[in-house]
Amino acid sequence: MKIKIVTTPNIAIPVAINQTNSLEMMIPPYGPACLASYLRQRGHQVQLQDVSSRVGELAEVPGLPHTDGILKRVGDYLIRGTRDDAVDAFAEQIFRHVYADGLDLVGISVLSRCSFFSALLLAKKIKEKTVTPVVLGGALMTEYGVNRTRITKLMETFKFIDYIVCGDGEVPLLGLLEQIRGVTAARDVPGLSYRDNGGIKVNERFFSDIEAMPIPDWDGLPMELYHSGEGLQLVYQVTRGCPQKCSFCAYHLIDTRVMFKSHNKVLSELAALRDKYKARYFFFCDSNLSVSYDYLQELCGLMVKNELNISWFVSASVKNMDRKLLDNMRKAGCYYVTWGIESGSDKVLRLMNKGFSSAQAANVLKDAHSLGIYNMVNLITGFPGENDEDLELTRSFIRQNAEFIGHVKVADFGLIPGTPMHEHPAEYGLQNVHADRRSAIGLGRLGYDEINGPVWKEILVRNKRANQIINQEAMQFLRNKAAMKAKIGGTKQIRNFFG
């Protein structure tokens, strides 16, 4: 059978592409490539399309502002059927990029809330113009699928979604193709949500072992789009799951178990991808590669011993990290780490259940920098319980560690369903948790009041101010870093080190 698996652009539409670091932008889609590999091995024709790589072309749609106001407009267009010529033109552009005659199924990979809007717009256009069935999958759909009520409501709201796959997609997608052929009943396809006699049925999620995960196959994608100034950058997953369960994070709903690929599998697949695609640079898309100190130490040693000769960047935690491990990571080719430090306040870090202190974070940044690793720091503002003193501590953290930091990103806190904070709000000083007007399509935050504190409307004002304060500090930091880079000039190695 003939299937196209599509990755749609982030919200975008396309909201500030410059807010995302270029290293993280220039990578081909991983999950769809693993699905393609699995299905191609079983005789199916699979086309991959990464519409997000064409985001510059889509940005040219006239009348579509790159502001938060677009969220309401797209929501009204999708849910209420409100006419909006600019939104419709954007949906048409995505459709024209994607659709081809003769498809038996279109699969849309939804990695996060950021790409959900465009995924829904594409699904709507496909169902308006064709009879081709549409299935949504990916990390966000898996998060939704933990709660049967949410997944049911989603399909009831958006009639143009034929199927949703939750969890690992290889076996369910193969089963769905068999169901479309009439060989298998929908009720027998694991992880599948589908329509049945006017209702919605949700099958139990399918879990696969990470060792059985297929090697990604990007054949058919224009790989030249993923070249940075240094060369082609590929993506690969080494581990799954995270035992930390930060209070604000829903990742444990997506990957419920901590699993590790065997070292032999990792080494052989990385070598195969390196040779096939002539690629030296890799992004390890693990949520936290350092989840096991011993596993990562041994992997790095084997990468050096086997002369893998690749360069890689990754997300890791300050917890389970020391100079010895950082040194081995650098020797194995690690040149860039994203750290979820989130705050410079120890009080806030405890509320977040991060498992480390600001002093530990500073030491890790200093050690990584001294070893030649570029540090990217993520921060979160507006966390419940954060006050002006905590904000000042975060500002001070940026200033005091500026020498060791290459880049800073600042995100506004949002309460997400299924997180520890959502499941036990009173433990975090929250009450009256409610959905706002955009939550029906998964993009709006959950509102809340603070116990013996401000109500939601006041919290929004306070959090906006907090975000502005830390963003201003981050922007000043980046301006200083740019000035330093311009002053130094010199070799490419030095310029790269300063970002």
Residue 120 has pLDDT above 60, yes or no: yes
pLDDT at 11 (0 to 100): 57
User: Mean pLDDT throughout 202-217?
Assistant: 93
From 47-56, 59-68, 102-111, 451-460, the region with the lowest mean pLDDT = 59-68
Mean pLDDT score of the chain, rounded to an integer?
Answer: 88
Lowest model confidence (mean pLDDT) among 45-59, 279-293, 312-326: 45-59
Confidence of residue 148 (pLDDT cuts 50, 70, 90): confident
Instruction: Check: CB of residue 336 under 8 Å from CB of residue 27.
Output: no
CA atoms within 13 A on the CB side of 182: 0
Per the CB < 8 A criterion, the answer to whether 226 and 28 are in contact is: yes
pLDDT at residue 21 above 70? no
CA gap 6, 17 in Å, rounded: 19
What was the pLDDT predicted at 445?
A: 67
Mean pLDDT of 251-267: 89
Give the highest mean pLDDT range of 89-103, 143-157, 295-309.
Answer: 295-309
The Cα 300–Cα 454 span in angstroms is 49
Token couple for 338: 């994203």
Which residues are 163's β-sheet partners? 135, 194
Q: What is the pLDDT of residue 171?
A: 96
C-alpha distances in Å from residue 445, one per residue of 338, 362, 422, 433: 24, 31, 11, 10
Cβ neighbours, 10 Å, residue 117: 30
Instruction: Check if the beta carbon of residue 437 is closer than 8 Å to that of residue 444.
Output: yes
**All residues at 6 or more sequence positions from 304 whose CB lies less than 8 Å from its CB, including other chains:** 328, 331, 332
What backbone torsions phi and psi does residue 284 show, to the nearest 5 degrees? -85, 110
DSSP helix/strand/coil, 218:
coil
Q: How confident is the model at residue 58 (pLDDT cuts 50, 70, 90)?
A: low
User: How far apart are alpha carbons 259 and 262 in whole angstroms?
Assistant: 10
Task: Compute the average pLDDT of residues 180-195.
Answer: 96
Residue 69 has what pLDDT? 67
DSSP 11: T
String of b and e for 280-290 (b: at least 16 CB within 10 Å)?
Answer: bbbbbbbbbbb
pLDDT tens per residue across span 298-357:
999 999 999 999 999 999 999 989 999 999 999 999 999 999 999 999 999 999 999 999
Spacing of C-alpha 267 from chain mean position = 24
Structure tokens at 365: 């940044």
Q: Which of 207-221, 251-265, 429-443 has the highest mean pLDDT?
A: 207-221
For residue 312, what is the DSSP state? E
| Average pLDDT, integer, range 160-166 | 96
Q: What is the token pair recorded at 17?
A: 């592409």
Least confident among 1-5, 25-29, 365-369: 25-29
Q: Check whether 32 has a pLDDT greater than 90.
A: yes
How far apart, in whole angstroms, are the C-alpha atoms of residue 373 and residue 326? 8
pLDDT at 65 > cutoff 70? no
Give the lowest-confidence range in 71-85, 117-131, 366-380: 71-85
The pLDDT of 353-375, averaged and rounded, is: 97
Alpha helices in 182-322 (DSSP H): 251-254, 263-277, 293-305
Q: 223-248: per-residue pLDDT in tens? A: 988 887 678 999 999 999 888 889 99
The span from the CA of 206 to the CA of 142, in Å, is 11
Residue 365: Cβ within 10 Å count: 23
Pairing of strands 281-284, 199-202: unpaired
Domains of the chain listed by start with CATH number:
2-202 (3.40.50.280), 227-413+454-497 (3.20.20.70)
Please give the DSSP secondary-structure letter assigned to residue 375: E
In one letter, which amino acid is 287? Answer: S
- Residue 73's pLDDT is 81
How much is the pLDDT for 152?
A: 92
